[in-house]
Structure formats: structure tokens, C-alpha cells
Amino acid sequence: MKNEKFKYRGNFKKIFETFIKNANQQKAQYWLDNLLQRQSYDKKFKKLDDLQRKIEQNIY
């Protein structure tokens, strides 16, 4: 799945909100890093940048 290309979906932010609400920052960080690397073929993944700070501070 790491090398599989797929398009950005607006629901990604909801997924991260769920990870954070369930105190699963490690999983949120893993997937955020993975998705941010996909900016090379879909610039919409850049929208997830602001989640980095929220994950680090557990804001939700």
C-alpha cells in the first residue's frame, strides 16, 4: 500500500481526528507521514500539513 497511488479524500482529516480522540497519536503520525509523502503526485495532500501540529499537541 505504501507505493500505491490513490487520490486525496476529504475524509482523511476525519480519520486523524478519530485517531487523536482515541489517544492513538503514533498511528496518526505514521499515516500522516505516509500521506504527506504523496504530495509529489497529488498536491491536495498538502492540506494535511496543519494536522502535524494538532497531532503533536493533541488538539481536537
Residue 11 main-chain phi, psi, to 5 deg: -70, -10
| pTM for this predicted structure | 0.75
Cβ atoms of 35 and 4 within 8 Å: the answer is no
Residue 6 belongs to a domain: no
Q: Structural domain of residue 34, as residue ranges?
A: 12-57
pLDDT per position as a tens digit, 9-44: 989 989 988 988 888 888 999 999 999 999 889 999
pLDDT of residue 58: 67
Residue 53 belongs to a domain: yes
The better pLDDT of the pair 57, 36 is held by: 36
> Strand runs (DSSP E) across 1-60, as ranges?
none
**Is residue 46 over pLDDT 80?**
yes
Q: How many domains does the chain have?
A: 1
